Structure 1
Amino acid sequence: MDRNTKTPSDKAMPEYQMFPVGVWHMLAAVMLMVFCIAISLMSISELVSGWLSERALIYLEFALLAVMMFVLATPTFLLSRGWTLCHGFLVWHNRFYMLLLAVASGILFVDGHTGMALTGLIGLSLAVFASLMYCSKRYLEGVDYYRLIWAHHRSNKHQ
């Protein structure tokens, strides 16, 4: 089949909207994950602080923060450009942080760092709320909206 004769979707082109259905769920999920990542970084820092010097710990924190934010921001941006594969990655990414925070909170609690363990549990609850957002009907409608408009845009660009 010729590239120009392919249809991007069986659905009609939706109207462009400034705030489509699901955009608030997308923003809420990203914001919850930003705080979850910050708490994860604090937990990791607390866990490895006994093994590293202060200077090495600062470099590790900055490097991890840059990587963690890049890994969250890039698929989120690509998702808003119609790359629906990124939704699965973001769900996996969220589950990874849920596991990380659960394990870190448990270790910190056993080590006697109850304040940091409770902070980790707060981060875990934020990750659970983000997971609910990622799997909500509205979020999936937003993903489908962006997929449709970008599929139509790309098919019109090639004609």
Structure 2
Amino acid sequence: ADSPKDKLECSICLELFKVPVTLPCGHNFCKSCISDHWDKQEQVPTGAEKGYRCPQCRRGSEQRPFLEKNVTLCSVVELARDGEARAPGTERCEVAPGELCPQHGHPLELYCEEERRCICCVCTVQQCQWHRRVLLEEERSKKQVGR
């Protein structure tokens, strides 16, 4: 049985959407997940099936679809994130000093305010380049003052 929260999860990374985008077929993915998926598809040897396909329904297109942020879905995901009952110490900005990014293995040093998560230097360049970011310590101090 699917829970409503399952509908807010990317079928590639299985996490709540981070910058959700909607494909022409109507399926949603994290912008970085579908971009990475298609980047890997582009490296498929010649002769193999070409085009950009939805990983869910396999509907494809010859040209890479432009990925526009789904603002409404993004708002719903933020509400779900805000509503999650988090145990003390699991706030998005509360990581142990020196903790590494699970995606890239670099230290988590920044906090992306748009995605509301801790990020490393590689995340900053690849996924959060145009987002507002602050030093992790700055965000941690802000959270502690607000308690």
TM normalised by structure 1 equals 0.29
Counting helix residues as a fraction of each chain, which structure ranks higher?
1
Counting strand residues as a fraction of each chain, which structure ranks higher?
2
* Higher RCO (Cα < 8 Å, 6 or more apart): 1
**Of the two, which has the highest radius of gyration?**
1
TM normalised by structure 2 equals 0.30
